[in-house]
Amino acid sequence: MCGIMGYVGKKQAGPVILDGLSRLEYRGYDSAGIAVRDDSGDVRIVKAAGKLKNLAEMTQNGSSLEGTCGLGHTRWATHGEPTQTNAHPHISLNEEEHSGAAVVPQVTGVHNGIIENYQELRIKLLRHGYRFYSDTDTEVLVKLVDYYYKKYKVGPIDALAKTMVRVQGSYALAVMFADYPGEIYTARKDSPMIIGVTEDETFVASDIPAILKYTQSIYYAENLEMARLIPGQAIFYDLNGDIVPKTPQIAEYSADSAEKGGYEFFMLKEIYEQPKAVRDTISAFTPDGEVDFSAEGLLPDDAKNVERLYIFACGSAYHAAVLSQYVFEELAGIPVRVEMASEFRYRAVPLEKNSLAIVISQSGETADSLAALRKAKEQVLKTLSIVNVSGSSIARESDYTLRTPAGPEIAVATTKAFSAQVIVLYLLALWIGSGKGRMDRERCREYLEEIRQIPEKIEEILSDKTKIQWLASKFSNAKEAFLIGRGIDYAVSMEGSLKVKEVSYIHSEAYAAGELKHGTISLLEKGTLVIGILTQKDLYEKTLSNLIECKARGAYIAALTGRGNSGIEETADFTMYVPETAQPFMGSLALIPLQLLGFYISIAKGLDPDKPRNLAKSVTVE
């Protein structure tokens, strides 16, 4: 959650920080703030409730703040309401600064994460004369740094180290000290932090897109690691204060990949980037025309030893896992258990040996998924991550990593990263199925050829969106919608329902079609939108019967099916068709119209689909 941007160099910091924050707003847009230190040592702080544009207007896009060193923050509220007072940056002084006025706090800081013992620490600091102006855990954290800095008369790194030992929770913390002008200090535990450098500039940010415009030379801060940032240099330290040698990496993305590229919204751009994302993913793992993960350290013999799978994920990644469960069971012939990471991490689940634990996360920083990964490793399971960011925490802590080359995904509602994740799971199913002798080489090639045709078929779906726009317009004022299906179609309905609800705010629910008569059908009334997904031939008639039951109770029936099922129009009030492919892979095509439906309902309602209320892109806290 939350976005951090810091800069130290030769340019005016304000415009650079505001520009970086604009590329991080998907991480939170409840409020925003900026602190810039001028040549006289004063720190000017400006904060605004609401979206980043409010802060940009107050600071003339950062140009009204003089100084070459500063910090910025865009907030997703956890502790304290999304008000101007609770917005970051926070300071070690006992009274809140006046917006735009010059102040000289010893410590000024921004933070992404949650401090679990902040109440205890707050009481401690109150006893030592500190007073609090906000309701945030971040103000407590900043003042704790100040307390240790002054009490022990140590330098910034030692003060941060003492703070880190005392604090419980997760954090990416960036601070400026009054005694150290032109420098930024950072500390990290379980929350993402990247640092970029050029010859005479240094940047700190929560995610790569914030700094791609300025540099592709980046460091990934490790867990329990601190850093001193000066122009053109980043020096890293461990908790003992010893220097940790590091070599920068080259970012995988270009600056253009994080721009809208002529589209009004990132979500629409990313929907239309799916054919490329899928093609690139297929190419990455079929270098010689066959599925090959040897570059990632997975050899054919490894597939033979996999007796079962555990898959851990949250949100859309969880839906990708549910979809893949059906594919693995059919193509690989092994048992699969899909777990919500946020639930699994708190259960006493004994995991079977000779199993492979798969963790799926777009950002590679999802807190619950990272915890599930660590729990699997505690039980000595081999772990494999599917992530979109190779230097992420989940990628670094996994035994094997399969990176989806989908490029940066900026819209909060995932589209292209989800599609790329599903493709990797298909390829894994073929790899395991072939390795265990479940299918012969020829059959594997036939399935792979079907997968290779998916990008072209997605393009075909995207070429005609008129009908979906009509349906979106008709139901833009709907209060609720239900999506139903069986098997893979049920998994599709789960993700399709999420796409509708998160960007259009319609109460949308997904149900296994066979469960309707166990209570849910009582919610139907005249005009209720029911979307039936019917792409699985062996389940078609059963789901069709469920739709007929819904129609008999006055529901408006929209059907989503393969092109060979034109007879559905006798039952459905509205029909969406997708091209046919092998049955296990129909989910990749069926999901595209539902992504478009969610997007166009959002537009019809005058909403911003890139920034749905109360949501942030990367859930890096519990």
pLDDT digits (tens, 9 = 90+) for 244-289: 999 999 987 776 777 788 899 999 999 999 999 999 999 999 998 8
- Higher confidence at residue 346 or residue 619? 346
Task: State the fold for domain 466-604.
Answer: Rossmann fold (3.40.50)
- Spatial separation of the C-alpha atoms in residues 440 and 324, rounded to whole Å: 20
- Spatial separation of the C-alpha atoms in residues 496 and 8, rounded to whole Å: 43
Q: Which pLDDT does position 97 carry in this prediction?
A: 58
pLDDT digits (tens, 9 = 90+) for 50-96: 888 999 999 998 899 999 999 999 987 777 788 889 999 999 998 76
Domain over 281-452 is classified CATH 3.40.50.150: no
Q: Which pLDDT does position 591 carry in this prediction?
A: 97
Q: How confident is the model at residue 618 (pLDDT cuts 50, 70, 90)?
A: low
Tallying the residues shown for the chain, one arrives at 622
* pLDDT at residue 195 is higher than 90: yes
pLDDT digits (tens, 9 = 90+) for 154-176: 999 999 999 999 999 989 999 99
* pLDDT at residue 602 is higher than 80: yes
A 10 A CB-CB count for 479 gives 10
As a whole number, mean pLDDT of residues 336-361 equals: 93
Q: How far is CA 608 from CA 17, 268, 280, 499, 604, in A?
A: 23, 11, 29, 13, 10
Q: Which pLDDT does position 621 carry in this prediction?
A: 54
- Spatial separation of the C-alpha atoms in residues 300 and 294, rounded to whole Å: 8
387: three-class secondary structure by DSSP: strand
Nearest residue to 398 (alpha-carbon basis) of 408, 385, 388: 385
Query: Does residue 100 contact residue 37 with C-beta atoms inside 8 Å?
Result: no
What tokens does 156 get? Answer: 């910034």
Q: Which pLDDT does position 100 carry in this prediction?
A: 60
The conformation of residue 27, written as its DSSP 8-state character, comes to G
Q: How confident is the model at residue 321 (pLDDT cuts 50, 70, 90)?
A: very high
Q: Which pLDDT does position 81 carry in this prediction?
A: 84
As a whole number, mean pLDDT of residues 310-324 equals: 97
* pLDDT at residue 23 is higher than 90: no
Q: Which pLDDT does position 262 carry in this prediction?
A: 84
474 is catalytic: no
DSSP 296-358: GT--HHHHHT--EEEEEE-HHHHHHHHHHHHHIIIII---EEEEEHHHHTTS-PPPPTTEEEE
* pLDDT at residue 98 is higher than 80: no
Omega before residue 192 within 30° of 0, cis: no
Q: Which pLDDT does position 489 carry in this prediction?
A: 98
Q: How confident is the model at residue 620 (pLDDT cuts 50, 70, 90)?
A: low
Task: State the fold for domain 3-258.
Answer: Glutamine Phosphoribosylpyrophosphate, subunit 1, domain 1 (3.60.20)
Catalytic pick among 269, 416, 465, 617: 617
Q: Which pLDDT does position 246 carry in this prediction?
A: 93
* Residue partners of 170: CB distance under 8 A and separation at least 6: 113, 114, 189, 190, 191, 367, 620, 621
For the chain, the domains span: 3-258, 281-452, 466-604
Hey, do 3-258 and 466-604 end up sharing a CATH topology, with the first three levels equal? no
One-letter identity of residue 135: D
Query: Does residue 130 contact residue 141 with C-beta atoms inside 8 Å?
Result: no
Q: Which pLDDT does position 101 carry in this prediction?
A: 62
Percent of the chain with pLDDT over 90: 79
Q: How confident is the model at residue 615 (pLDDT cuts 50, 70, 90)?
A: confident
* pLDDT at residue 99 is higher than 70: no
As a whole number, mean pLDDT of residues 343-370 equals: 92
pLDDT digits (tens, 9 = 90+) for 126-139: 999 999 999 999 99
One-letter identity of residue 117: N
Mean pLDDT over the full length of the chain:
93
Q: Which pLDDT does position 622 carry in this prediction?
A: 55
Nearest residue to 36 (alpha-carbon basis) of 72, 90, 88, 60: 72
Q: Which pLDDT does position 448 carry in this prediction?
A: 97
pLDDT digits (tens, 9 = 90+) for 468-517: 999 999 999 999 999 999 999 999 999 999 999 999 999 999 999 998 88
As a whole number, mean pLDDT of residues 185-194 equals: 93
Q: Which pLDDT does position 151 carry in this prediction?
A: 95
- Spatial separation of the C-alpha atoms in residues 338 and 312, rounded to whole Å: 6
Q: How confident is the model at residue 1 (pLDDT cuts 50, 70, 90)?
A: low
Mode of pairing for the β-strands spanning 574-578 and 556-562: parallel
Q: How confident is the model at residue 348 (pLDDT cuts 50, 70, 90)?
A: confident
Q: Which pLDDT does position 96 carry in this prediction?
A: 67
* pLDDT at residue 102 is higher than 80: no
H/E segment holding residue 185 = strand 184-189
Q: Which pLDDT does position 140 carry in this prediction?
A: 96
- Spatial separation of the C-alpha atoms in residues 18 and 6, rounded to whole Å: 10
Query: Does residue 310 contact residue 372 with C-beta atoms inside 8 Å?
Result: no
* pLDDT at residue 39 is higher than 90: no
444 is catalytic: no
As a whole number, mean pLDDT of residues 8-24 equals: 94
pLDDT digits (tens, 9 = 90+) for 426-443: 999 999 999 999 999 899
What tokens does 364 get? Answer: 């590679």
